[in-house]
Amino acid sequence: MAEALVHLQRSNSIEAFNRWEIEIPDALIFSTPALPPGWKNDVPFTQAFGDAWLSARKSVAHFVPSALVPNDLNCLINPAHPQFDIRWVVAGPNPFHFDPRLTRP
């Protein structure tokens, strides 16, 4: 949510969001990678990292550190991975609305 909220504040446009709940077997999730110092402020690096992970298709999901919330993780999901199974979706799509206190100017 924090990652999406940053982009919302840049665009001043709150579009409809959906929330999904997905259960992926642990064996198909890569653990947190070691990232170089300064990665949080290096957008080209983080984009290239994500693009390389998606195209390599080495895992269905990947835990990565949050650039916004210290000591928190985001879980990236690759639905194009050959082992991704739509049956892992346990709920969704469900409408998601940001609390208006988070989106005030």
Between CA 44 and CA 35 the distance in angstroms is: 14
23 band by pLDDT with thresholds 50, 70 and 90: very high
CA angle 17, 23, 48 (to 5 degrees): 65
Mean pLDDT, the chain, as a whole number?
85
Evaluate if residue 71 carries a pLDDT over 80: yes
Domain ranges of the chain: 2-102
The confidence score (pLDDT) of residue 53 equals: 92
Query: Rounded to whole angstroms, how far apart are CA atoms 95 and 105?
Result: 23
**Measured distance CA(26)–CA(48) in Å, rounded:** 25
> pTM of the prediction?
0.74
Q: Which residues contact 94 (CB under 8 A, 6 or more apart)?
A: 18, 19, 20
